Chains A and B, each alone.
Chain A
Amino acid sequence: MKDVITLHINGDEVEVGVSTHFTLLETLRYALGLTGSKQGCDKGDCGACTVLLDGQPHLACIMPVYEAIGRRITTVEGLAEGRVPHPLQDAFDLCGAAQCGFCTPGILCSAYGLLAQNVDPSRDEIRRALSGNLCRCTGYTKIFEAVEIAAESLRTGADPRDIVAERYDLAFPSSSMQPAEHTAVSSTGASDA
């Protein structure tokens, strides 16, 4: 069975054709081409598919798409405002919190949900907020650090680059921390596919 439904995604209202058994994740990835949200397990164990519904983190891989109708859906593609990355997104790069990057979109959504409610979380509160998102690369330390830096940026208005430069007393912060919109391109971002 197929159906056409309307969803509110990243500020857009979109009509999309779906199989009626589709999950929200299948709809995002395969019907809308929003491939930022990842599938790691397809059964709600890993958290790579986490998106925000009305500002709250949810697992898109076990949510029937019909449950998302009428709700404000935000994916990793919708976290940034315009060209400037969200402080969380910038801090993740500046801190080395994204290694393979596969869990990153889900973790960012969980962290975004946390910071929307608590802009000064303790490390323990961050641990708890991210406990539904598995990361296999980092051991989480750099992720906690990135969330703390993003929180500080949101609280104080300081640029995450300056916070990092100060924290580590960097010798060449101005140019080694170049503006995010000018960052280098690698093959991972420029697939010909």
Chain B
Amino acid sequence: MRNEDLLPLQEVTADAPERLREVAEAEFRTIGGRNRTTDGLFKSTGKAIYTDDITFPGMLHAKILRSTEPHAKILSIDPAKALALPGVYDVITGKELPTPYGIIPWTPDEHALAVGKVRFVGDAVACVAAVDEETAVAALELIEVEYERLPYYLDPEEALAEVAAENPIHEPRKPGRNGNVLKRVQLEFGPVDEKMVKADVLVEGEYLFHGTTHTPIEPHCAISRMNQNGLLEVWSATQVPHYLQREIARVLGLDVAKVRVVQPAVGGAFGGKSEPFDLEFCVALLAVRTGRPVKILYTREEVFYSHRGRHPMKMTYRVGASRDGRILAVDAKTILDGGAYASFGLVTTYYSGQLLTAPYEIDSYRFDSTRVYTNKAPCGPKRGHGSVQPRFAFEISLDKVAEELDLDPIEFRRGVFMGTGRTVNEFRVQSNGFLECLESVEKASGWRDKFRKMGYGRGIGVAGSCYISGTNYPIYPNPMPQAAVQVQVERSGRVTVLHGASEIGQGSDSTMAYIACEELGVPLDYVRVFSADTDLVPVDLGAYSSRETVMVGNACVMACRQIGEQVRGSVASEWGLEPSRVRLAGGWAFDSGDPDSPEGRMPIAQAFQLAEAGHGTLGAVGHYNTPKEGVHGEYRGGTIGASPAYSFTAHVAEVEVDPDSGFVEVKTIWVAHDCGRALNPMLVEGQIEGSAYMGCAEAILEEQTYKTGEHQGALHDAPSLLDYRIPTSLDCPEFVPLIVESIDPEGPYGAKEAGEGPLHPSLPAIANAIYDAIGIRIDSLPFTPDRVWRAIRDAEAAKSAEEVA
């Protein structure tokens, strides 16, 4: 091929030829760099398209009528007056969508619109499609619903009572059981009772996690359009397009192949958009029935009632340790307050125990977790699903144990570090940077000069954690790959990556672009990424369980390497070299043995053209499936919580407590996170800071609570962004992100997750810091001024009572 045959090249972003020696010597050209994102400028210039930014000609607006009762039979629904309102096109109720659904295939207990009864204030009852939003809202007022009230339960312990079983929120799946229990998991690893007896130190405590919600700034929104060729399209602010596609097809009785789900830019999710919601089924059915495009945009109040946030948990922990600082036994009993529907609850129940067993060596462990239905908005997975609450209880327990043993809490944690190998519940851990994490926060925070030395009112606390990089088993059992990527390479130098991962702000689109750059040698602006459109991309299961970097990343590496091999082979034969000498990087194919030679380099597009001439059109698919052998125990439930790779985190938090007001100011949080290889440190820092922010907010500000009392029972206490207090820029401490890179053999380039793990230690680190500051243990969240003030007063009262006695 002659140079004149080549198409015009854009060399503007390629590395200067004189830098190729430096490129040749670097391990990576793009991976590990603080690169731009693929979508950042679209977002910062207002061009990114979110679901509510989309409109279609003739589009109707729909609104959902929601239950005013926490628990009631529906005696009748009369939509006649609403239907008679000019501008109203359709009203649907539960009888039009009778098929139950649920994200977990074993617990489908939800209907898009209530069938027979409602189970919480906010449960969807009917849906109106009208010419505009105002007409739809007016029509809601005209729908007449007759309810027969049933007893309702706001406290899981009420719902567990025998009398509550007579009027359960859901019918029991097996006769004779209390229908209010979704799931109970009891697992024991090693002889807990035997070890507990031998413990030199035994710490017992009861801990309360209060319940919080995701609060993405973008409310849920969905649009559907039915086409004349029988294709139903749905655009939705979801983080699980594939599951949504399946569930819409199942509930509407359609062929999955005739449903297209598109996920536009998503304005935050955090787990709050990781299952199908009522609005998606409603727009789909209304689009089918009316033949018009239909949109629903939740109000902020509806976002709060849709919830799926972090479960309130009441946790009783007993931790036994030996004098020499070993953890001999952990015995945990947990009640999970699930709200009205199952959501991911079956998994949450397992996670509340299964995810606690690293990074520490634990000789024996038992947990007993029960998830209970209550008549409140359904709980589900929030960033750090299922394990943030037990981690709170456990890390405070460890702080207490360290104190009893008269050990520095960091020293104590160092002593029980498990390293790699098997956890007590038999998960395989292949990389573990927790020690470096501890060292990193210890040093950065000036721990040794501060711990127990800061005086009354100032304190510092530490905590650690572990999290999963995706789950070994998909939500619905199947032997197919968990992730797949298709890569196309075109003669202009342009590389297109088609993948199913959901970009929700965490940077999965950008990550795939960095991988394509690294493997195929193109500059970043030669890469186009298309994701999360079920008509365009291979199946991926979505953005949950921190699975995208490891799973989709590995699939992307696999696809790119096949093409890279063809390209290097073609260039090598052109130059008469071994293919292994050809490096693709920085916009060039070059001879890595002689990077300074003008004869030993060609622009990457020219290399692609050589390969295309030799091999035909360049394209490849890659996939990833999780290892199944030897990565978990063979006991019932042993697969749940098993992951290809585990991330580790350590936090040190510094606080100031005002004893007069009870106000806790978190000054600084140092966060060291072992994410394996940081594919882009800037994005990893963003995940670390965002996680620590969210955990800190749960510790001191946020609380999802409900009103009690006859007239407003079960109403959400604070369904607005004014009353539900998410931190403003003035409320945040300083975050110091510290990256630790233990290279995991299972991850792409050794990468693990960074999106959820760094949240966990925030809460217990702050709790332990408060203890350091005022010498009082507060084991119930959140640490709001009233609670802290009360704890200080109670401690003072107890002390003076003691003195009097």
1/0 contact trace for A78-122 toward B, CB 8 Å? 011000010011101111101111111100100000000000000
List 14 contacting pairs A-B, 8 Å CB cutoff, sorted by A: A35-B50, A35-B52, A80-B45, A98-B44, A99-B268, A101-B43, A139-B694, A141-B734, A171-B22, A176-B34, A188-B39, A188-B49, A189-B39, A193-B54
Q: Are B34 and A168 within 8 A (Cβ)?
A: yes
Complex: A171 Cα to B30 Cα, angstroms = 10
Q: Are A131 and B531 within 8 A (Cβ)?
A: no
B contact residues around A142 at 8 Å (CB): 682, 685-686, 689
Smallest Cβ distance from B668 to chain A, in angstroms? 12
A40-B692 in contact given A172-B29, A186-B530 (Cβ < 8 Å): no
Q: Are B218 and A131 within 8 A (Cβ)?
A: no
Number of chain B residues whose Cβ lies closer than 8 Å to a Cβ of chain A: 93
Q: Are B46 and A105 within 8 A (Cβ)?
A: yes
Q: Are B735 and A141 within 8 A (Cβ)?
A: yes
A138-B722 in contact given A96-B37, A180-B41 (Cβ < 8 Å): no
Besides A101-B265, A138-B686, A193-B54, 8 more A-B contacts (Cβ < 8 Å) are A40-B267, A90-B41, A101-B505, A183-B36, A184-B36, A187-B532, A189-B39, A189-B48
Q: Are A100 and B266 within 8 A (Cβ)?
A: yes
A40-B45 in contact given A174-B15, A177-B36 (Cβ < 8 Å): no
Number of chain A residues whose Cβ lies closer than 8 Å to a Cβ of chain B: 79
Q: Are B524 and A176 within 8 A (Cβ)?
A: yes
Complex: A96 Cα to B728 Cα, angstroms = 18
A contact residues around B728 at 8 Å (CB): 131-134
Complex: A105 Cα to B35 Cα, angstroms = 22
Q: Chain B's interface: helix, strand, loop or mixed, by majority?
A: loop
Interface residues of B (CB under 8 A from A): 10, 12-16, 19, 22-23, 26, 29-30, 33-50, 52-56, 214-219, 235, 262, 264-270, 297, 299-300, 503-507, 509-510, 513, 523-533, 586-587, 682-683, 685-686, 689-690, 692-694, 720-722, 726, 728-730, 732, 734-735
Q: Are A45 and B721 within 8 A (Cβ)?
A: yes
Interface residues of A (CB under 8 A from B): 29-30, 34-43, 45-46, 48, 75-77, 79-80, 85, 88-90, 92-96, 98-105, 108, 126-128, 130-144, 164, 168, 170-172, 174-180, 182-191, 193
B contact residues around A48 at 8 Å (CB): 217
Q: Are B524 and A178 within 8 A (Cβ)?
A: yes
B29, B43, B525, B682 pick with most chain A CB within 10 angstroms: B43
B contact residues around A135 at 8 Å (CB): 217, 729
A34, A128, A191 pick with most chain B CB within 10 angstroms: A191
A29, A75, A183 pick with most chain B CB within 10 angstroms: A183
Complex: A45 Cα to B732 Cα, angstroms = 18
Complex: A182 Cα to B34 Cα, angstroms = 17
A104-B235 in contact given A96-B682, A172-B29, A176-B34 (Cβ < 8 Å): no
Smallest Cβ distance from A10 to chain B, in angstroms? 10
A45-B54 in contact given A100-B504, A135-B217, A138-B689 (Cβ < 8 Å): no
Closest to B507 in A: A99
A187-B721 in contact given A48-B217, A89-B44 (Cβ < 8 Å): no
A187-B509 in contact given A131-B728, A134-B728, A136-B217 (Cβ < 8 Å): yes
Q: Per a CB cutoff under 8 Å, which of A93, A103, A134, A190 touches B40?
A: A93
A contact residues around B54 at 8 Å (CB): 191, 193
Q: Are A89 and B218 within 8 A (Cβ)?
A: no
Q: Are A108 and B44 within 8 A (Cβ)?
A: yes
Q: Per a CB cutoff under 8 Å, which of B15, B267, B692 touches A172?
A: B15
Complex: A193 Cα to B269 Cα, angstroms = 22
Q: Are B217 and A100 within 8 A (Cβ)?
A: yes
Q: Per a CB cutoff under 8 Å, which of A104, A133, A170, A189 touches B34?
A: A170
Complex: A110 Cα to B530 Cα, angstroms = 31
Q: Per a CB cutoff under 8 Å, which of A29, A41, A141, A179 touches B721?
A: A41
Q: Per a CB cutoff under 8 Å, which of B55, B532, B730 touches A131?
A: B730
Smallest Cβ distance from A23 to chain B, in angstroms? 13
A99-B506 in contact given A38-B50, A40-B219, A137-B268 (Cβ < 8 Å): yes
A189-B735 in contact given A41-B300, A183-B36 (Cβ < 8 Å): no
